[in-house]
Structure 1
Amino acid sequence: MATFVLVHGSWLGGWAWERVAPGLRASGHTVLCPSLAPAGPRVGLRTHIAEIVALIDEHALTDVVLVGHSYGGMVISGAGHERPQRIRRLVYLDAYLPSPGQSAFDLQPVLRDACDAAAALRPEREAWLIPPLGFETMGLSAADLEWVTARARPLSRATHEEPLPQPVSGHPPPPATYIRLGGSPLFADAAHTALQRGARLLTVEGAAHLAPISDPERVVAVLGSTS
């Protein structure tokens, strides 16, 4: 059985895995669902990477299946560079797949444009915040959209502006699996990049980007196959 650490995407929290974690635990896996630090003027990608590294160290975790959904792909990439010997596999669930030196905005300039437009409508003192965007396009039912919108919180802009740091370990990176959610066009380029890098590619046909919420049973099944 594996130890899964599930890292959520933009604007979400550990609660985004509430429908996935029980299924993995029922199969005998250990599952941790941390919530990344909330927005703050000094909270960026490096902050979130450090939190996951600290979680691994604090619990003396080994043989970890480290899963990142959406923005979580940025975070697990950094943690994988810092603790490669503790991680069995990096799993990217419809997620960013950066190279060192790349930011989320570099990989999706359209998101930068959307955030700039949103910032222009906010007071200047709040320009460093990114408000929740686009949930209505992510395949949620009306009830789930209401549930997510009520819980979602702004992000610090630095989370998407900061580039992935250069590796600090001399160890090779952990092996990677990329899970494409077939009903989501957001990360088709990342899935192609994963194949080019030799990652294992899995596809959940027809699943929307927020499948951990809208299609948890199939997410449980595909994550279980990566362990």
Structure 2
Amino acid sequence: MATFVLVHGSWLGGWAWKRVAPRLRASGHTVLCPSLAPAGPGVGLSTHIAEIVALIDRHDLIDVVLVGHSYGGMVVAGAGYERPQRIRRLVHLDAYFPSPGQSAFDLQPVLRDACDAAAALRPEREAWLIPPFGFGAMGLSGADLEWVTSLARPMNRATHEEPLPGPASGPPHPPATYIRFGGSPFFADAAETALRRGARLLTVQDAGHMAPITDHERLCAVLGRTS
């Protein structure tokens, strides 16, 4: 059995795994679902990486399967460089697959453009925030859309502007698995990059970007193959 640490995507919290975590635990796995620090002074990508590293150290975790969804891919990549000896495998779920020195905005300039457009409509004092948006386009509807929208919170722009820290060269470590959601157009390039860099590639066919919420049963079946 594995120890899973599940890292959520932009604007979400540990609550986003409420359908995934019980199913993994029922299969005998240990599962932790931390919530990354919300918007506030000085909160950036390095803050979130440090939080995951601290959680691993605090619980003295070893042989961890560290899973990142969407923006969480940036976070788990950074934690992998910090604690490679404690992590069995990194798992990127329809997520960023960065190299050191790359930011989320570098990898998805269209997201930077969307955030710039949104910032232009807000007071200058709020320009450093990225408000939640686009959950409908990510595949949520009905009660799921209402639930996520009610709990989602803004993020610091620095989370997406700050480049990934880490060594300038060398192979990724620990080993990585990339799980592509076949119905999502957002990270097709990242999946190709992961495969090119030697990651194992798995696919949840026809799943949308918010599969941890909308397609949790099939996602858990694939996650079980990464442990």
Fold shared, TM-score > 0.5 on shorter chain: yes
2:163 is the alignment partner of 1:163? yes
Residue identity matched to 1:79? A
1:181-200 alignment, distance < 5 Å: 181-200=181-200
Partner deviation per Cα, 1:87-140 (whole Å, 9 max, x = no partner): 000000000000000000000000000000111111111110000011011112
Residue identity matched to 2:30? T
2:64 is the alignment partner of 1:101? no
1:29-178 alignment, distance < 5 Å: 29-167=29-167, 173-178=173-178
Question: Does the residue aligned with 2:195 lie in a helix, a strand or coil?
Answer: helix
Q: 1:141, CA displacement in angstroms?
A: 2.7
Question: Does the residue aligned with 1:208 lie in a helix, a strand or coil?
Answer: coil
Gaps of 5+ in 2: none
Residue identity matched to 1:123? P
Alignment partner, residue 223 of structure 2 = 223
Question: Does the residue aligned with 1:66 lie in a helix, a strand or coil?
Answer: strand
* Contact 1:6–1:34 (Cα < 8 Å) also in 2: yes
Provide TM-score, normalisation by structure 1: 0.97
* Contact 1:84–1:172 (Cα < 8 Å) also in 2: no
Alpha-carbon distance between aligned partners in 2 of 1:5 and 1:137, rounded to the nearest angstrom: 27
Alignment partner, residue 3 of structure 2 = 3
Q: 1:172, CA displacement in angstroms?
A: 6.5
Q: 1:171, CA displacement in angstroms?
A: 9.8
Q: 1:184, CA displacement in angstroms?
A: 0.1
Q: 1:206, CA displacement in angstroms?
A: 0.3
Partner deviation per Cα, 1:151-204 (whole Å, 9 max, x = no partner): 000000000000000239x99711100000000000000000011001100000
Residue identity matched to 2:133? L
Alignment partner, residue 203 of structure 1 = 203
Alpha-carbon distance between aligned partners in 1 of 2:96 and 2:60, rounded to the nearest angstrom: 27
Number of residue pairs matched by the alignment = 226
Alpha-carbon distance between aligned partners in 1 of 2:90 and 2:81, rounded to the nearest angstrom: 11
Question: Does the residue aligned with 2:136 lie in a helix, a strand or coil?
Answer: helix
Provide TM-score, normalisation by structure 2: 0.97
Q: Over aligned residues, Cα RMSD in angstroms?
A: 1.3
